[in-house]
Amino acid sequence: MPSLPTPPSASTLLSQLGRCTRHKNSLFPPAVISPPFYSSSIRRYHIQQRPHSGLFSPLAARNRTLATRKVTVTHSSPRLGAIARQLSSTPALQGKMAPIDMEGVEKYDYIVIGGGSGGSGGARRAAGWYKAKTLIVENGRSGGTCVNVGCVPKKMTWNFGSINEHLEHAKHYGYDVPKNIKYDYGYFKRTRDATIERLNGIYERNWNREGIDLVKGTAKFVEPKVLEIDLMDGSGKKMVTAPHILIAVGGYPIVPDIPGAEHGITSDGFFEMEELPPKLAVVGAGYIAVELAGVMNAVGVETHMFIRGDTFLRKFDPMIQETMTKRYEATGMHLHRGYTGMKKIELLSPGKGAEKRLKLTFDDGSEMEVNELLWAIGRAPAVTKLGLKEIGVKQKESGHIIVDEFQNTSVDGIYALGDVTGQAELTPGT
């Protein structure tokens, strides 16, 4: 067996590691270094040139280079280990967190918290392109918001509503379509649920094919590079560590802090309805509120929208606001302007569809009875259980994680991506 190369001197290693960690926390410096190159984890790396269509953080090098990790490890010594720990630690946190016994802690190259579009894309590139030992931690259904309670079910529901509208207009094109055609919403929901489950399976099979581990549970930082996972199957906790951790946990819909607010539903609960309510109140003026209210109105649900201003979609172009608002009213939408809030919500009778009855009491003292109440007043980042403050990750007042243009947070080796950063809530192809 050939002998391993002699490790560089401490001064040489410090220089190499310094070049590694100063450039936006990237794993490699912008210039190609002749092999062997020692990373901050004292592993031996080689760098090869290959066109790269954009930056992949954190494992991609700058200047369109691609890195390939070799599994061999150079000499280890207490002195080199101490140097690495000194460079990779966060000085501001030293002494604030209890030391972790690393025995029994499973080691990875890259850990992703969240199995949505951003997390899945990051994990697959790390494992596929860079052969990194990768773990995804997910505390819900695989695929994230888009697959489970966003883009996919919403588009299917929009098609469900648009078909009804097309049938109503068909007579203008010579079709003899009977009036009041009935639909089976339960059948549609089962079809939609089956589609989502199929996509959940596709995500997980893709991860398995690329050698990515999946752990179902809720992750919390106990050190900047160590996670404690509360396993969903109730079997206990699992400890994992990696030099690079991506936070891609997404967000959740906001519910106001008023008495009885829990009797309503959010956009998540909207897709769990098994029967449509005869009368629906929608609070919100953003695109989620507009989309879901429009679908319900299209299939014959008496829909009431409560908005603060004269128009909805206030973040859109004024022409879009005015045109859409007028169009909705023309199609029978009940639009309540000048909404200032509710005092309380009372559950008059539980149940599904027409059986459920709610009494809404507004700030001005007026009341309304409906069969369902949909809160669509915004979303918040799902960060409360991550322990970010304890490890020094900076956040905005809204809770969104602050990142630079390369998705780096304020802590070396920790990155954030997607809705949790408060940027455009889009789902690119992954």
pLDDT digits (tens, 9 = 90+) for 129-139: 999 999 999 99
Backbone φ and ψ of 226, nearest 5°: -125, 130
The rounded distance, in Å, linking the Cα atoms of 420 and 424 is 10
Residue 257: pLDDT above 70?
yes
Q: How far is Cα 400 from Cα 394, in angstroms, rounded to an integer?
A: 9
pLDDT score of 358 more than 80: yes
Contact between 157 and 236 (Cβ < 8 Å): no
Q: Are strands 43-49 and 65-73 parallel, antiparallel or unpaired?
A: antiparallel
Coil, strand or helix: which one is 29?
coil
- Secondary-structure class of domain 104-249+381-419 per CATH: alpha beta
Contact 270, 374 (CB under 8 A): yes
Q: Is residue 194 classed exposed, middle or buried when 0-12, 13-18 and 19+ CB atoms within 10 A define those classes?
A: exposed
Q: What is the pLDDT of residues 49-108, one digit of tens each?
A: 333 333 344 454 433 333 433 333 333 333 333 333 333 444 444 445 556 767 789 999
Mean pLDDT of the chain: 83
Residue 181: band (very low, low, confident or very high) from pLDDT cuts 50, 70, 90:
confident
Contacts 24+ apart (CB under 8 A), 196-202: 196/141, 196/143, 196/147, 196/148, 196/152, 196/153, 199/143, 199/147, 199/152, 200/141, 200/142, 200/143, 200/147, 200/148
- Say if CB 114 and CB 248 are below 8 A apart: yes
CA–CA gap between residue 86 and residue 388 (Å, rounded): 21
Q: Which two tokens stand for residue 127?
A: 């494992």
Q: How far apart are CA 146 and CA 162, in angstroms?
A: 20
- Other CB atoms within a 10 A radius of the CB of residue 26 amount to 20
The pLDDT value recorded for residue 162 is 94
> Whats the size of the chain, residue-wise?
430
CA distance 376 to 285: 8
pLDDT tens-digit map of 18-35: 444 333 444 433 333 334
Q: What is d(CA 147, CA 251) in angstroms, rounded to the nearest whole number?
A: 14
Question: Nearest 5 degrees, angle CA 199-CA 131-CA 61?
Answer: 105
Given a cut of 80, is residue 161 above it in pLDDT? yes
pLDDT for res 276: 97
* Cα 307 from Cα 324, distance rounded (Å): 14
Decide: 358 and 347 in contact? Cβ < 8 Å: yes
Helix axes of 117-130 and 185-209: crossing angle, nearest 10 degrees: 20
Confidence at residue 102, expressed as pLDDT on a 0 to 100 scale = 79
Task: Please give the Cα distance from 288 to 241 (Å, whole number).
Answer: 37
Residue 196's SS3 state is helix
| Single pTM value for the model | 0.76
As annotated, the residues of the chain forming the CATH 3.50.50.60 domain(s) are 104-249+381-419, 253-377
Of 207, 126, 214, 151, the C-alpha closest to 428 is 151
Mean pLDDT, residues 249-268:
97
Q: Read off the pLDDT of each residue in 251-280 and give the average, rounded to a whole number.
A: 97
- Of 107-111, 319-323, 421-425, least confident by mean pLDDT is 421-425
Work out the percent of the chain whose per-residue pLDDT is above 90. 71
Would you list the DSSP string of 210-242?
TT-EEEEEEEEEEETTEEEEEETTSS-EEEEE-
Q: Which carries the bigger pLDDT value, residue 164 or residue 328?
A: 328
Q: Which residue has the tokens 């809720």?
A: 218
Q: What is the mean pLDDT of residues 367-388?
A: 98
Burial degree of 419 (CB within 10 A; 0-12, 13-18, 19+): buried
Closest CA to 327 of 300, 299, 290, 289: 290
Question: Average pLDDT of 246-273?
Answer: 97
* pLDDT attached to residue 426: 72
Residue 372 near residue 264, CB atoms below 8 Å: yes
CB atoms near residue 347 (< 10 Å): 14
Alpha-carbon distances, residue 120 vs 55, 129, 219, 246, 418 (angstroms): 16, 14, 16, 11, 11
Taking the C-alpha atoms of residue 142 and residue 153, their distance in angstroms, rounded to an integer, is 14
Question: Which fold would CATH assign to domain 253-377?
Answer: FAD/NAD(P)-binding domain (3.50.50)
